[in-house]
Amino acid sequence: MTEDSQAAAPSPKIDTTVPHSARIWNYWLGGKDNYPVDREAGDRYREIYPQIVDTARAGRYFMARAVRYLAGQVGIRQFLDVGTGLPTVDNTHEVAQRVAPECRIVYVDNDPLVLVHARALLTSSAEGVCDYIDADMRDPEAILTAAARTLDLTRPVALLLMGVMGHISDDDEARRIADGLLGGLPAGSYLALADSISSGRGHQEAGEKYSETGAVPYQLRSPEQIKGFFSGLTLVDPGVVPLAEWRPDPSPFPPTHVDTLGGVGQKALRREITETDAAESQPRPFLMIEYSFDLFSYSTFAYPTRPVT
């Protein structure tokens, strides 16, 4: 983290009477940064939908593979991780800077407990930068303004939305948030997103019980709605697929299937217009041969044609 962000950050107040998704997720991942109210909510969910622990782990593994791909094969050096949750093993900056120590990472969350741990644990390599923004994902403009203090928003950025869009119940608002964040990033940037899909009554009931605990409800979406977040982007193979199918690491064990889809897509690059391109776009003549009635003599005329579009 930067010294300025540490100095300016207010002292947070943590409410331990209401469960919070970041702390519940930490509990499912086997972490210790949670309270009894979080564990109770997590247990209620797991009783109805036992697969949630595998889901939490699969999401973490997907995030690591996506970041390794973006930093290693694509060469991305800037990451904006929105809804980061509590630090655990292999956080975004650790994965990225393991590939390229000069990577710059900005985390965004609005849970006071996350802020406390971010100050202590999200430390960058000497060559790179790691910062934290205390902000609500519903305000993309504020996030981008704050991120610009650390990231160069004239250069490609990888936007990470890992298991967070379900916190926005309204589909139109969820798309507005994702589009607003990506819209503020330059051409050549990437979106890496993973989110759960509705897989039956048990999954839905677990979500309903979860909401009754006082935690922020989580909206399960259809595969088509998850794919909609990538509208207008060029998808990286194999597209938007179950997490275990997205560029899996070699393993002697069969993958664990979970009801979560993930994908990575690139914002279209702007094509530079060269002098040759400009010349080729101008009207070009063609020859029309007009034969005379005696079929032996002819005259030629040049007619303009429309540029090929």
What pLDDT does residue 271 have?
58
For residues 14 and 155, membership in a common domain is answered with: yes
Report how far residue 254's alpha carbon sits from residue 184's, in angstroms, rounded to the nearest whole number.
Answer: 40
Q: Left, alpha or beta for 241 (phi > 0: left; psi -120 to 50: alpha)? A: beta
Contact 144, 181 (CB under 8 A): yes
For residues 226 and 285, membership in a common domain is answered with: no
For residues 99 and 36, membership in a common domain is answered with: yes
What pLDDT does residue 121 have?
66
Q: Which residue has the tokens 């994702």?
A: 178
What pLDDT does residue 282 have?
52
What pLDDT does residue 4 have?
41
For residues 80 and 164, membership in a common domain is answered with: yes
Per-residue pLDDT band for 130 (boundaries 50, 70, 90) equals very high
For residue range 178-201, list pLDDT tens digits in order.
Answer: 999 999 999 999 999 999 998 767
Residue 31 lies in a domain: yes
For residues 15 and 62, membership in a common domain is answered with: yes
Report how far residue 18's alpha carbon sits from residue 42's, in angstroms, rounded to the nearest whole number.
Answer: 12
For residue range 14-52, list pLDDT tens digits in order.
Answer: 778 888 888 888 899 888 888 999 999 889 888 888 888
Cis peptide before 304 (omega within 30 of 0): no
Residue of higher predicted confidence among 82 and 280: 82
Residue 309 lies in a domain: no
* pTM value > 0.85: no
Within a 13 Å sphere around the CA of 108, how many CA atoms are in the beta-carbon half?
A: 26
For residues 42 and 116, membership in a common domain is answered with: yes
Q: What's 102's domain CATH number?
A: 3.40.50.150
Report how far residue 279's alpha carbon sits from residue 274's, in angstroms, rounded to the nearest whole number.
Answer: 9
Residue 15 lies in a domain: yes
The residue-averaged pLDDT of 116-144 equals 88
Per-residue pLDDT band for 211 (boundaries 50, 70, 90) equals low
Joined tokens for residue 36 = 């009894």
For residues 82 and 149, membership in a common domain is answered with: yes
List Cα–Cα distances, 42 to 38, 194, 221, 259, in angstroms.
Answer: 6, 20, 20, 18
Residue 62: give the domain boundaries.
Answer: 3-266
Beta strand pairing call for 285-291 and 298-304: antiparallel
For residues 213 and 282, membership in a common domain is answered with: no
For residues 201 and 279, membership in a common domain is answered with: no
Q: Is the pLDDT of residue 205 over 50?
A: yes
What pLDDT does residue 281 have?
46
Query: What percentage of residues in the chain have a pLDDT greater than 70?
Result: 78
Amino acid, single-letter form, for residue 97 = Q
What pLDDT does residue 52 have?
87
Report how far residue 280's alpha carbon sits from residue 161's, in angstroms, rounded to the nearest whole number.
Answer: 41
For residues 157 and 45, membership in a common domain is answered with: yes
For residues 60 and 130, membership in a common domain is answered with: yes
For residue range 220-251, list pLDDT tens digits in order.
Answer: 899 999 999 999 999 999 999 999 999 999 88
- Please choose, from the candidates 159, 163, 232, 145, the residue with its C-alpha nearest in 3D space to the C-alpha of residue 24: 163
For residues 297 and 165, membership in a common domain is answered with: no
Count of structural domains, the chain: 2
Instruction: Tell me the backbone φ, ψ of residue 246, rounded to 5 degrees.
Output: -90, 100
Report how far residue 299's alpha carbon sits from residue 289's, in angstroms, rounded to the nearest whole number.
Answer: 6
